[in-house]
Amino acid sequence: MSDKLYIFDTTLRDGEQVPGCQLNTVEKIEVARALEELGVDVIEAGFPISSPGDFNSVVEISKAVTWPTICALTRAVEKDIDVAAEALKYAKKGRIHTGIGTSYYHIHHKLNSNPDEIIERAVRAVKHAKKYVEDVEFYAEDAGRTENEYLARVVEAVIKAGATVVNIPDTTGYTMPYEFGEKIKYLIDNVKGVHNAIISTHCHNDLGMATANTIAGIINGARQAEVTINGIGERAGNTSLEEVVMTLKSRYAVLGIDTNINTKNIYKTSRLVSNLMNMPVQPNKAIVGRNAFAHSSGIHQDGVLKNRENYEIIDPTEVGINESSIVLTARSGRAALKHRLEVLGFELTKEKLDEVYEKFLELADKKKDIRDDDVAMLVDDTEKKERRIKLDFLQVVTGKTLQPMASVRLDIAGEKFNATASGNGPVDAAINAVKQIVKRHVILEEFLIQAITRGSDDVGKVHMELDFEGVKYFGFGANTDIITAAVEAFLDAVNKMKV
């Protein structure tokens, strides 16, 4: 038995069945080429008889890619198989994937048939497909709920008829990992001629166990896994390619099973599929989710900074992500903040770091996510404490029917000064109050407000250009309160004035 697992990607067939995720032929070719670059062994390109678009996609994908096997899906119907064969005529390596339901539910309630007739139809379909291609895969739909003894009869019959791959789908995502593993083992142990074909898994995620079931199947002898990028697919989705591949890679010493996948292309392929199908990847998705390599807990951050393997079993570079993400939140510790400051080029003394950290915690309680601009602003904030004129208090009253009024208290060289003023708006009122205290005739040449990031809780930054006696002074302020940011920017400029 080979220690290689063949990766059969059905993103363009089963994955594309998700409502609202349909791709045009050009987009499918782009995904197919990305899958080829990723290293998948088989690309299931479509269901040719289902629509002219699917037929054309199989044709064009067959022309566009070189070494992966191109597979076309059919029912166990001669017309389906004929159309699939026509669609595959340009494939360098073509495979027809035909099959029929084998569970009690499918035989009696979907197909209105009986077990013996199903086997006859399955054999007939495989033999018909063999007239066109040597590589024929048979799927026993709803194998997960099919009795093992009967499933073994079906598998033995189709292998004898010429099937080179036999797919054992858990179509409804019903089985438990131990059950699915036992099912594969039963077939390996009891089907005559089973080693003349590759046993394949095709697991759905209705109970959240698609990857676990797939791995159980592989451990028990399956050597092809049918998967999709990001685990997309009908209902709760299919087995994720990235989860299976990285499980085998990270546990290779135990399992000894390898794939042909270039794992460094996993992340970019994930993003391509997500963007083209307009289907965002959930943040906590294993391997490719935004948070898969993100650390926000102070204890975890400290551990990762000391040694990545303290909290990561996969090096993010192995899947095409540059580095782990140390996400600054209210739970982050000094080590994480110090690391981020060093990355941004700030070398702070222990005393200064402590001061910035206290400000950081205050900001982190207001914002869900702290960005690099926020961190730079915190350092700038602590430096402002050393300036002669500092904002000590600010209160603004404003509203649709109210005249904006602002009360300001400034600390000038340790002495407190208060003023209240009105204005055309809350920022104008606050600046007017400051002007009453500083008593300098300045002209506001430029006033620019910009959000550092998107969201109603984000820090806004204000840039000001003031003219004082013909000299230009520039000020900067940043705060979650834009009026405070404006006053800080004004004072930043005033503090730079020589007089």
- Which residues contribute to the annotated binding site? 14, 202, 204, 238
Distance CA 490, CA 495 (A): 9
Q: Which two tokens stand for residue 259?
A: 């794939």
For residue 191, the tally of other CB atoms under 10 A from its CB is 23
Residue in 350, 491, 472, 496 with CA at minimum distance from that of residue 417: 491
- CA angle, 129 as apex, 205 and 131 as ends, to 5°? 160
Distance CA 253, CA 142 (A): 33
Q: Classify residue 368 by burial, with Cβ atoms within 10 Å: 0-12, 13-18, 19+.
A: exposed
Q: Which residues are annotated as a binding site for Mn(2+)?
A: 14, 202, 204, 238
Strand 471-479 versus strand 460-468 pairing type: antiparallel
Residue in 154, 179, 202 with CA at minimum distance from that of residue 13: 202
Cross-strand pairs, 416: 411
Residue type, 66: T
Q: Are 283 and 291 contacting, i.e. CB atoms less than 8 angstroms apart?
A: yes
Q: Are 50 and 13 contacting, i.e. CB atoms less than 8 angstroms apart?
A: no
Total residues found in the chain within this entry = 499
Report residue 199: phi and psi, to 5°: -90, 130
Q: Where are the beta strands (DSSP E) in 64-104?
A: 69-73, 94-101
Q: Where are the beta strands (DSSP E) in 423-469?
A: 443-451, 460-468
Distance CA 142, CA 68 (A): 27
Tokens 């669609």 correspond to 87
Residue type, 277: M
Backbone φ/ψ region at 413: left (φ over 0), alpha (ψ -120 to 50), beta: left
Residue in 324, 326, 321 with CA at minimum distance from that of residue 338: 326
What is the per-residue DSSP string for 181-236?
Answer: HHHHHHHHHHSTTGGGSEEEEEEB-TTS-HHHHHHHHHHTT--EEEEBGGG--STT
Distance CA 210, CA 420 (A): 66
Distance CA 137, CA 164 (A): 6
